[in-house]
Structure 1
Amino acid sequence: MGDSRLTTRILMEMENLITRSSTRENITSRFQDLHKSILRKHYNAADVDIDYVNHRIKMDVVLDDRQYDPKTINMVVPTMPTNLFYKDLGSFLKSCLAKDIKSLAFYAGLIKKHTNEDISMIVL
């Protein structure tokens, strides 16, 4: 993933996907899952709820990663409830994109899931 051409392509595809998924008529349950996945990744949130009408994002941000295991039921995890306002959902989600290798691999998976295309095939 260190290839700058691949990095650029992944980020461009993510931005295109966000643009397509953020228009009022395109907000399907599948795209809502995409939006929540981006926010969970960026904010390390355990729970994300997006109010598309009132432009609000409510989430519980995990404060201590060592006590959080997404594979098990966590009874006591320190979280901070957060309520954010956004003006433009697409711009807000694009600002959440990171360029580190772990994030790029995550985005490549999202692209494959939401476009049914493998990013390695797109780059060729």
Structure 2
Amino acid sequence: MKTSTLVTIYRLENLLNTQKENKDQFRLHQLLHINLIKRCYNSSDVLIDYDKKRVFMNIILDNTDKRNQKCKTTQKVMPTNLRYDNLTSFLKSCILEDDASIEFYKSQMTVFRSLKITTEKTVKIEESLNQ
């Protein structure tokens, strides 16, 4: 495996291990979790119930039909309900190591970092306004 691939996986795993200090950070992590699951399971409509430790999703059964790529409502899906014991372990098991997935993770982490910086600045501005 390439060094850059290992670095990307290492950074993604570290991101999954980080604590969510406030609701804005939780929402950012939630988006990352959903995108990771969608990528791994080729799924849509992912919903994570953190309290019940469940992931609900529709796994796309066949996305080779070019007609259906424009209109996802006609795609054949399998409704799925997964239970996990440990969210971080489950999400780490969703990490794929192919080149396309690695590029996807890089882009997700770039977006995550930029949103996190924006969120942190917004929180600081709101805190200063409330003083």
Partner of 1:79: 77
Higher alpha-carbon Rg? 2
Q: Which moved more, 1:35-44 or 1:72-81?
A: 72-81
Aligned residues: 111
Q: In the aligned structure 1, how far is the partner of 2:91 from the partner of 2:103?
A: 17
Runs of 4+ in 1 over 4 A off after TM superposition: 23-27
Q: Which protein has the bigger helix share?
A: 2
Q: In the aligned structure 1, how far is the partner of 2:64 from the partner of 2:99?
A: 21
* Residue 37 (structure 2) aligned to one of 36, 39, 46: 39
- Return closer, same or farther for 1:54/1:79 CA change in 2, 3 Å cut-off: same
Unaligned runs of 5+ in 1: 117-124
Alignment RMSD: 1.9
Unaligned runs of 5+ in 2: 115-131
Partner of 2:6: 8
TM-score, with normalisation over the residues of structure 2? 0.77
Q: In the aligned structure 2, how far is the partner of 1:75 from the partner of 1:99?
A: 29
The one-letter amino acid paired with 2:17 is T
Q: What is the 5 A alignment of 1:1-124?
A: 4-20=2-18, 28-67=26-65, 68-69=68-69, 72-116=70-114
Partner of 1:119: none
Q: In the aligned structure 1, how far is the partner of 2:100 from the partner of 2:57?
A: 22
The one-letter amino acid paired with 1:61 is I
